[in-house]
Amino acid sequence: ALYWIHDEPLMKYLGVEPEKKVFEPTLYRREELLARVEEISHSEGRSTNRLGVLLGNAACDQTKTLTHVLWSLLNSIPARSVQRPHRHNSVALDLCVSARPGVYTLMGREIDAQGRIVDPIRCEWNSGGVFVTPPGWWHSHHNDSDDIAWVLPVQDAGLYTYQRT
């Protein structure tokens, strides 16, 4: 899958035209990203729920996003692990970069008192496949395989960050 993401739909909806170029695209090389994830995986005090690299653009230092509206993270799910239920305000378009059978996401509108997703929908990951995580839905990522799984979510979270919602 290849993502081509831009602001044209939003600009058309708002009835506006771009007046000037605000930022240049940022190139992330595979080797650099994998090296950074490896470095993070060995650092003390690292998060036990996330192991990934936030992709940002120097021109968007206030929101730490790729563009003024788009956010992304190259996220790894280690073998035989679970990323606990979490949610976010924006929709996520999740590209499964790499996964073996046994990698999936559970999604649902609610969690119970123990933090488990109520009546979850199960989305199996397939390398090169895409799934959508609706805004506000609880979701958890599960890797029952013996290999690292990789996902690249893209969200319109920059809008939410900028508006401080």
- Does pLDDT of 162 surpass 80? no
* pLDDT average, residue stretch 117-126: 97
Burial class (CB in 10 A: 0-12, 13-18, 19+), 39: exposed
Tell me the whole-structure pTM to 2 decimals.
0.84
pLDDT per residue as tens digits for the range 35-47: 888 887 777 766 5
Average pLDDT, the chain: 87
Are the C-beta atoms of 152 and 72 separated by less than 8 Å?
Answer: yes
Which pLDDT band, with edges at 50, 70 and 90, does 160 fall under? low
CB-CB neighbours of 12 under 10 Å: 10
* pLDDT average, residue stretch 77-92: 92
- Does pLDDT of 1 surpass 80? no
Who has greater pLDDT, 3 or 155? 155
HEC string for the chain: CCCCCCCHHHHHHHCCCCCCCCCCCCCCCHHHHHHHHHHHHCCCCCCCCCCEEEECCHHHCCCCCCCCCCEEEEEEECCCEEEEEECCCCCEEEEEEECCCCEEEEEECCECCCCCECCCEEEECCCCCEEEECCCCEEEEEECCCCCEEEEEEECHHHHHHHCC
